[in-house]
Structure 1
């Protein structure tokens, strides 16, 4: 990637994608602490990979939309589902 490559977030100006992704990640971490769902192990592994690769929260959310949706649906977290839907529709 050269220095003249466009910023991949330029089209997201004004819709707070990074802030929404940060908020969803906080929700994910909180829910992981509250449940013994099979998804906890999965996300523990994926979050470690995220850290190791240096990916940001928006990239992680975009890469894990289906898994996040299944987890939030399983634990009946409607607020997280709504935020994830918004992110998917507007930011990913």
Structure 2
């Protein structure tokens, strides 16, 4: 009998179970990619506001300990989703949904 904690993201085995293991999900790389996409928008003054300025400081560790990208995304899923919805960014929304489902 094989250990279920080693379940991979093999399509023949079905979706990986995030509650058993994060093996094969590469959540850190996905979170980094999502953060790049968020910063692409919020670094542009046309898309920034007081919240996003706070978010940038929080991401840099200016308001306390620096959070890793995945935790920062987890804490602000709603705001990130709303940003992508407002900008009609379907790829960004898909990234948020995938990270929320598989990594948070």
Shorter-chain TM range is 0.7 to 0.9
Please, which of 70, 80, 92 is the counterpart of residue 82 of structure 2? 70
**Residue 32 of structure 1: aligned partner:** 42
**Residue 31 of structure 2: aligned partner:** 21
Structure 1 spans left out of the alignment, 5+ residues: 1-9
Cα distance, 1:35 vs structure 2: 5.9
* Equivalent-residue separation in structure 2 for 1:63 and 1:49 (angstroms): 11
**Residue 44 of structure 1: aligned partner:** 53
Cα distance, 1:40 vs structure 2: 3.9
- 1:15-65 deviation per Cα after TM superposition (whole angstroms, max 9, x unaligned): 01000000000001112234623x543122122123222110000110110
* Equivalent-residue separation in structure 2 for 1:78 and 1:35 (angstroms): 21
TM-score, normalized by length of structure 1? 0.78
- 1:55-82 deviation per Cα after TM superposition (whole angstroms, max 9, x unaligned): 1000011011000001110011110000
Count of matched residue pairs: 82
**Residue 3 of structure 2: aligned partner:** none
**Residue 11 of structure 2: aligned partner:** none
Higher helix share: 1
What SS does the corresponding residue of 1:11 show, helix, strand or coil?
A: coil
Q: CA RMSD in A?
A: 1.8
| Structure 2 residue 95 is the aligned partner of structure 1 residue 86 | no
